[in-house]
Amino acid sequence: MKLSICAILVVCSLFPAQLMATNSCPEDICTTANQFGQLERDIPSLYLVNGLNLSQEQCGRIVEIMEKIRKIEEKFDGRFMKLAERRKKDFEWEANAVVDMSAAHGKVNQDKLDRSPRAERLKASRQELNTIRHEKIQELDELADKASGVLTDSQRAVINNFTPCFIPPSDFKNPERVGQAASDTTIVEAVLTRMRTAIDAKKLADAHGKALDQLVPYAMEKRHIRYTEEAEQEIRDEIGGRLDLVVNKMRNMSDADFQLEKANLAARTVPIPSINNSPDAVRWKVSHYVLNQGIVDVMRSRASGGKKPAAAEPARSASPEVAGRERSIGAAAVLNSIDLTKDQATKLLPVVRNALQVEKEVNDEINGTMKTAIEPYLVLRNKLFEGQTTPQAEGAAAALHGKVRNLRQVTMVQKLLECETEMDRILTAKQVDFLSADMKELKAMLVGKGSDEDVDKSLSLARSAVSDARRMSGAAYSKEKEQICRRFNEDSIKAQDLEKDAIDIEAETKRLAEVLDRARKLDETAYSGKRDDIAADFCPRRIKARPATFGAQYVHGEPVRILNPTTRLIFSEAGIQILQKMAAN
């Protein structure tokens, strides 16, 4: 029976992420990472708190709420940990069973597994965890609402307009400096001003194109839209139409009228949804920033009228490893779905090992940078306590913040994408297509399945084509070999809906002919043992890199490329474990 992905998704949701995180890093590195992460949250919190201009009495009332929050978190974290520890062996058993299914291509009785006493206990534990989580959220939300009640209407307005960022920009339109100015239209106004100077049709057309090149990524970033070519074209069409209407109007305005109206014209050209001021959104900002436990020392000092903060609270370390097997389950689901052959698993092992080594090297650099950043971060934190930041302190912290972000978002991804390309050379074009799918589509395809039907079908057709070629006479094979391979490539592209320009028909026709030559030289026993590996070799390979995957983050207007979630699951210790078992079967 094929592996049930429904069961995998259920097990993945069993324990909250903080209880399942693998905590295998050395203690000094974990301490540095925790302290760095806490300071990255404390600094925006202090910008916001400073912008609120809280009174001594308000600080005192907020400190009382923060103390209650600390006790609630300790109470519920204790309940989480006790339950997770009680069920640790059951969870690991389930995860290991799923991994073994994947390595054996799902040839385990999943129904029997679901009916086991362990599975029943896990189901009851999941329900209890959900109850604990709901109770905790409810109590914390009530305290966040109480904290909002401590604030004045003008202070709540500051929070409503707060858009988190590490160091707010210096801007006369944002004097409180409590976050990004979400409604700032300066960029759009500058574009409209330039377009107004275009005096003839040709210059206006050129200016129109350049304006869209600048405004489209700006709009996508401000609207938090995940980048795809389709999304970009949709926004381009929308803003292009708006720009035409605004240009016609503003070119007939006097200079004085344009200056008065340009902010409104900019807002009409690139409408940005208003900041989410729903009760849930405001509650989250208050909870995450104003009630941040990392700044309780500052709030205590201000509540008592002190000049210097007390010793900072130590950063809370991540919860100890309880199971740490959720990545195993995800990797098992993905690798089982693409129906890897033994030969493919063997070839993938060194690629995945290399990817983990690359990841370790970049992480070492990240950890070193975080360690260097601690002192400048603390300097800025103290300046924020005093209410008098300096460009030097902000600049030093911002530079290291940017370096860590660049290492994580650019360097790490670029290096792992190189490893992904190596992996794709081993996989069939259909397997790569499956792994490249949008995560929402992938989840829909996975539910209730073992290996993907389209991948199975492509391998089945390849097996049939190779078997047919083995039965041909020598003369017939020599005459028809090239045509068989070319037709198989073309039929595969059409039947499997592959990108036509992603497959080099001439090169693949030649490669497939070599695969058939090797297959025909094998006796029946040898061929039977290698049939699946040969079928995978006979499937078309991509010559073109797989489509890029982007998130909703942008740097200088450019979308930030991310590693496909399926690749991240495969490039793991769990991936190595599963591939080793697949290669040994």
Per-residue pLDDT of the chain (585 residues; tens, 9 = 90+): 344 444 444 334 433 333 333 344 555 666 889 999 999 999 999 999 999 999 999 999 999 999 999 999 999 888 888 887 777 777 677 667 766 766 665 544 455 555 666 667 767 777 888 888 899 999 999 999 999 999 999 999 888 888 888 888 764 345 455 555 455 688 899 889 888 877 667 778 888 888 999 899 888 888 878 888 888 899 999 999 999 889 888 888 888 988 989 889 998 898 876 555 566 778 899 999 999 999 999 999 999 986 555 444 544 443 434 334 456 667 777 887 888 888 999 999 999 999 999 999 999 999 999 999 999 999 999 999 988 889 999 999 999 999 999 999 999 999 999 999 999 999 998 899 888 876 555 554 444 444 567 777 888 889 999 999 999 999 999 999 999 999 998 888 888 788 878 888 999 999 999 999 999 999 999 998 889 889 989 999 888 888 888 877 777 777 888 888 899 989 998 899 889 988 887
Which two structure tokens, joined as six digits, stand for 385? 């306590």
Give the DSSP per-residue string, 88-152.
HHHHHHHHHHHHHHHHTTT-S-HHHHHTSHHHHHHHHHHHHHHHHHHHHHHHHHHHHHHHHHHS-
- Distance, in Å, from the CA atom of 185 to the CA atom of 175, rounded to the nearest integer, reads 16
Q: Is the dihedral of CA 189, 191, 197, 201 positive or negative?
A: negative
Q: What is the largest CA-CA distance in the chain?
A: 97
**Residues 250, 265 contacting (CB under 8 angstroms):** yes
- What integer pLDDT is reported at residue 18 of this predicted model? 36
pLDDT of residue 198: 72
Distance of CA 245 to the CA centre of its chain: 37
- Count the Cβ atoms, other than its own, within 10 Å of residue 5: 25
The residue whose two tokens read 């139409």 is 241
Question: What is the per-residue pLDDT for 516?
Answer: 94
- DSSP 3-state of 319: coil
| pLDDT at position 444 | 47
Structure-token match 């690359």, residue found = 358
Q: Report pLDDT for 15.
A: 38
The three state secondary structure string of 32-83 is: HHHHHHHHHHHHHHHHHHHHHCCCHHHHHHHHHHHHHHHHHHHHHHHHHHHH
| Residue 238, pLDDT score | 92
Spatial separation of the C-alpha atoms in residues 510 and 532, rounded to whole Å: 20
pLDDT of the residue at 95: 65
Output b/e per residue, 407-444; b: 16+ Cβ within 10 A.
bebebbbebbbebbebbbebbbbbbbbbbbbeeeebee
| Cα 188 from Cα 250, distance rounded (Å) | 13
DSSP single-letter state for residue 366: H
